[in-house]
């Protein structure tokens, strides 16, 4: 019986330890800058067309690569003027069985504005975001980029705004980098009614 109790105790401790969320690299506020690949693109050497596309279009930066028995696929973020365009993506997939390519292009179809004012710096954006929702203070990321902020069906340059994306876990605040207006927010808690 003692052996069984010890096993249950050790098992319980292991379960508790595995459920505890720890993010050892998450200290303080981190501003995400740059437009580099987030994954190793050398995996794509078996599909030189994909490597060529990434070299030819530096605005596409790989975020995920799938290479399995069925396909090779690369999903990319899209950058404009070295700033991420939130929600925009590009995916190129090659079927290993049939050899054909599929392309899913969710990038802007208009030239984005370049003269958008950034009156809100990173520090002020964090301050505004913290007033909106309770963000974990020790693990915040912020990133400046473009975001489509128009409800009309017709895409136009003025539909894109320069924004700060402030995140902490699944909580986030998207705010205008020119005037601090909040476009969207989520406190990270889902409620079921």
Q: Are residues 59 and 117 in the same domain?
A: no
Mean pLDDT to the nearest integer, 59-73:
95
Q: Does 16 fall in a domain?
A: no
DSSP code of residue 153 = S
Given 66, 86, 106, the domain boundary residue is 106
Reported in sequence order, the residue ranges of the chain that DSSP labels E, i.e. its strands, are 28-32, 60-67, 71-80, 83-95, 101-106, 139-148, 160-168, 171-176, 182-186
The string of pLDDT tens digits covering residues 34-62 is 888 899 999 899 999 999 999 999 999 99
Query: What was the pLDDT predicted at 15?
Result: 35
Structural domains counted in the chain? 2
Return the CATH number at 168: 3.10.450
The string of pLDDT tens digits covering residues 141-162 is 999 999 998 877 788 888 899 9
Q: Are residues 98 and 147 in the same domain?
A: no
Q: Does 136 fall in a domain?
A: yes
Given 65, 82, 106, the domain boundary residue is 106
Q: Does 177 fall in a domain?
A: yes
The string of pLDDT tens digits covering residues 100-138 is 999 999 999 999 988 888 999 999 999 999 898 887 766
Q: Are residues 93 and 126 in the same domain?
A: no
Mean pLDDT to the nearest integer, 23-29:
56
Q: Are residues 120 and 139 in the same domain?
A: yes
Q: Does 76 fall in a domain?
A: yes
Query: What was the pLDDT predicted at 32?
Result: 85
Q: Which domain holds residue 93?
A: 41-106
Mean pLDDT to the nearest integer, 188-193:
80
Round the average pLDDT of the chain to a whole number and report it. Answer: 83
Q: Are residues 100 and 132 in the same domain?
A: no
Q: Are residues 181 and 116 in the same domain?
A: yes
Q: Are residues 134 and 98 in the same domain?
A: no
Q: Does 5 fall in a domain?
A: no
- pTM recorded for the entire structure: 0.78
Percent of the chain with pLDDT over 70: 84
Q: Does 87 fall in a domain?
A: yes
Q: Are residues 124 and 180 in the same domain?
A: yes
Query: What was the pLDDT predicted at 24?
Result: 43
Given 106, 134, 160, the domain boundary residue is 106
Task: With beta carbons less than 8 A apart as the criterion, state whether 52 and 34 touch.
Answer: no
SS3 state at 61: strand
């Amino acid at each position: 019986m003692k052996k069984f109790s010890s096993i249950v105790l050790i098992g319980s401790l292991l379960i508790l330890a595995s459920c505890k969320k720890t993010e050892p690299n998450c200290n303080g506020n981190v501003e995400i800058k740059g437009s580099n690949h987030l994954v190793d693109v050398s995996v794509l050497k078996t599909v030189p067309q994909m490597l060529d596309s990434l070299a030819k279009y530096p605005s596409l930066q790989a975020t995920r690569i799938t290479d399995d028995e069925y396909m090779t696929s690369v999903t990319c973020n899209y950058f404009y003027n070295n700033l991420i365009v939130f929600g925009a993506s590009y995916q190129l997939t090659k079927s290993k069985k049939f050899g054909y390519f599929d392309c899913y292009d969710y990038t802007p179809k208009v030239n984005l504005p370049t003269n958008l004012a950034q009156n809100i710096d990173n520090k002020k954006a964090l301050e505004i975001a913290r007033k909106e929702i309770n963000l974990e203070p020790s693990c915040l990321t912020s990133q400046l980029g473009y975001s489509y902020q128009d409800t009309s069906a017709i895409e136009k340059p003025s539909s894109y705004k320069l924004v700060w994306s402030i995140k902490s876990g699944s909580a986030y605040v998207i705010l205008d980098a020119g005037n601090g207006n909040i476009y969207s927010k989520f406190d990270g808690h889902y409620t079921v009614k």
